[in-house]
Amino acid sequence: MCKCKITKYLLNIKYLQLSNTMEIINEPIPGLWLLKPNVFADHRGHFYESYRADFFNMKGIDINFVQDNQSLSNRGIVRGLHFQAPPHAQDKFVRVVAGAVLDVVVDIRKDSPTYGKTFAVELTADNFLMLFIPKGFAHGFATLEDHTIFQYKCSDYYAPSAEGGVLWNSPSLEINWGFDEPVLSQKDTLHPDFSHFESPF
C-alpha cells in the first residue's frame, strides 16, 4: 500500500474515532452548535468526553480555551444576557453538570442576516446537551432546578472593562424565560433594552 493511501486510511480512522466522541445535532444560527456527546453508561454510572480540541479542529474551528467557569444557582434565577466586547470577545462552550437550565442566546453580530435572532434550549444533567457559542452572541440562562451547576469554557479571560449586556426581558426579543419575576443581580437589571442596544460586533 502506497504512503498516500496509508495516510488517507489513518485519517479516515481518526475521523471515525472523533465522530464517535460527540456530534453536532443542530446549528440553529450559523456558527451556533448544539452538541451531544457519546455517553457510555453501565451499572456503575456513566462516562463521556465533554470536550476535545481535535473534534473542533476537525470541524474547522481552532480555539484555545483559557478559562473555565462554574456557577451554582437555585431555581428561578436568571443570569444574562452577557457578552465581552472586542478585543476580549469570548467563544463559549457551555453545559450543565447538575440540575437544568433554559439556555438562551441572541445573535448580536451587526452584519449577520440573523441579527437579533434568539435561540433557547434546555440543557440538563440528564440530556447531556452542550452548546458552543461563538463570539458575537449575548448569552444567559434561567435555572429550572435547585442546586444547578453550570460550567462553561471561555476563549479569553474575564475582562471587566469589556463587559456588556442586553436586558434579559427586552420586549423586542420575545424570550420566554418561564419566569415572570426571576431573581436577578442588580447589574442585570441595568443592561439596555435590545431596541436601544448598540452592538460592538
Write out the catalytic residue numbers: 82, 152
- CA dist., res. 153 & res. 193, Å (int): 27
The set of cell numbers assigned to 39 is 455517553
- CA dist., res. 84 & res. 137, Å (int): 9
- CA dist., res. 142 & res. 182, Å (int): 8
DSSP result, 57-70: HHTT------EEEE
Q: Is the peptide bond before 81 cis (omega within 30 degrees of 0)?
A: yes
- CA dist., res. 201 & res. 199, Å (int): 5
